[in-house]
Amino acid sequence: MKYDILIVGSGPGGYVAAIRAAQLGRKVALVERADVGGVCLNWGCIPTKALLKSAQVFGYCSHAEQYGLEIDGTVRPNLEKIVARSRTVAETMSRGVQFLLKKNGIDLIAGFGRLTAPGRVDVDGTEYEADHIILATGARPREMPFMPVDGERVITSRQALAMTRLPETMIVVGSGAIGSELAWFYAALGVKVTVIEYLPRMMPLEDEEVSKAMERAFRKMRAAVLVGTTVKRVSVNAEGRCDVEIEGRKGSETLSADVVLSAVGIQPNIEGIGLEELGVEVEHGKIKVDPFYRTNVPGIYAIGDIVPGPALAHVASAEGICCVEAICGLAPEPVDYSTIPLCVFTQPEVASVGMTEQQAVERGLAIKIGRFPFTASGKATAAGDRDGFVKLIFDEEDHLLGAHLVGASVTEMLAEPTLARRLGATAHQIARTIHAHPTMNEGVMEAAEAALGAAIHL
């Protein structure tokens, strides 16, 4: 069987690329060895959000009296049922993608895809031909030699999404989005959680003010946060508990927990897919591509977690569309990696786009900063979620450089500053755009006003 475009991997990069190619009239096949939708839909973004929603509802029930509600009896988390709900959500979304593939006439080929020659892919012994082959094989949790994963006591996010009982104690190594979200989830359900971060602050890729706010938020819920701390060794002792040898500001010590969650990043899935045989160039563990995701081998492309850039579902989707449109001769704009929205779905949530304050200062830019705390927001006060703020960074010509938000539902607010940055909007334009009242989004307008020295509600 020969196709115009064959894509290996059905995650948010692969399946989106496949649908866009079909829309453009190409004959398309999509190869997938596991569940349609990839890690994101099945073992990442989507089931995680389902778990976090259950934890949020539990929190509301636990504090019902603050909203004038009385609950008879005790509200308890049932992890088995919480996980079952998350699996149902993931399966629903996966079926939705399968429907879209069928609707667009895309052939779904089950199995492990491997390049055998330019224009040829072997899938479990059957060979397929294509004019263009896009690799979108995604990534898996990174495993470190000092922290061997056994799937029971020392686990990755995959196992953390499918536990059936709550441990009393948990140590989470790494405070990026995955580590922070799962640490918050388990802490919210009553687990005594300790977060260990090698770098000097929590969520180290975020603006420093965001990091400080989130460290306070975690400690407020009685989770310990150890920053600037190195994990030397993790082992399981005779009692079945995990011993974690660390070195930090207090020197060397050994911590103990029922479970250790390794959240130290991801490893691209590039092994065994034929890169070496075809001479596809790899650099620093990722496939080297040009702005339209062409590799050094004609007809072979790569997108998503296996190429340089942020390993995010929405980035992979954007890359997939750009790649396919370039193949089909539409001359798309390259993906703008300076305007990638980032979200962490803890409580409070974190949302950011563009430069941090530190990055702007390091580049020698003259900047203006506008801040608006949600303690001054009518909507946040009415909702009982006043923690957090909006921070906007502008250059000397008042163009938006970066936006950093902490608070309830701020991930739903991020599209506005992302679009503003992409279109080159100014502080004045944002401030004079009428925002509905009362909404959390007013915080963006108020922060822009603050940058201009014209804040109304501060």
Residue for token pair 């940055």: 421
CA distance 136 to 26: 18
The active-site residue out of 132, 428, 435, 437 is 437
- For 278: left if phi > 0, alpha if psi spans -120 to 50, otherwise beta; the answer is alpha
H/E element holding 386? none
Sign for the CA dihedral angle at 353, 359, 360, 363 comes to negative
By C-alpha distance, which of 34, 123, 111, 46 is closest to 85?
A: 46
Residue with tokens 């949530």, as numbered in its chain: 349
Largest CA distance in the chain: 68
**Beta bridge partner(s), residue 247:** 230, 252
| DSSP assigned state of 398 | -
Dist. CA 387–CA 348, nearest whole Å: 7
Q: Please choose, from the candidates 93, 82, 84, 110, the residue with its C-alpha nearest in 3D space to the C-alpha of residue 41.
A: 93
User: Does residue 167 have a cis peptide bond before it, meaning omega lies within 30 degrees of 0?
Assistant: no
Task: Tell me how far apart the alpha carbons of residues 15 and 11 are, in angstroms, rounded to a whole number.
Answer: 6
Spatial CA neighbour of 291 closest among 247, 264, 331: 331
Cα→Cα distances 209→300, 315, 404, Å: 42, 25, 9
Question: In this structure, what token pair is assigned to residue 338?
Answer: 């300076």
120 three-state secondary structure = strand
Active-site residue 132, yes or no?
A: no
Closest by CA to 260, choosing from 360, 172, 161, is: 172
Residue among 450, 157, 212, 177 at smallest CA distance from 314? 177
408 neighbors 383 (Cβ within 8 angstroms): yes
| Cβ neighbour number for residue 290 with a 10 Å cutoff | 11
Helices 79-103 and 14-23, packing angle to 10 deg: 20
Yes or no: say if 430 and 448 are a contact pair by the CB < 8 Å rule.
yes
Spatial neighbors of 62 by CB under 8 A, at least 6 apart, are 75
CA 177 distance to own-chain centroid: 6
Q: Supply the residues annotated as catalytic.
A: 437
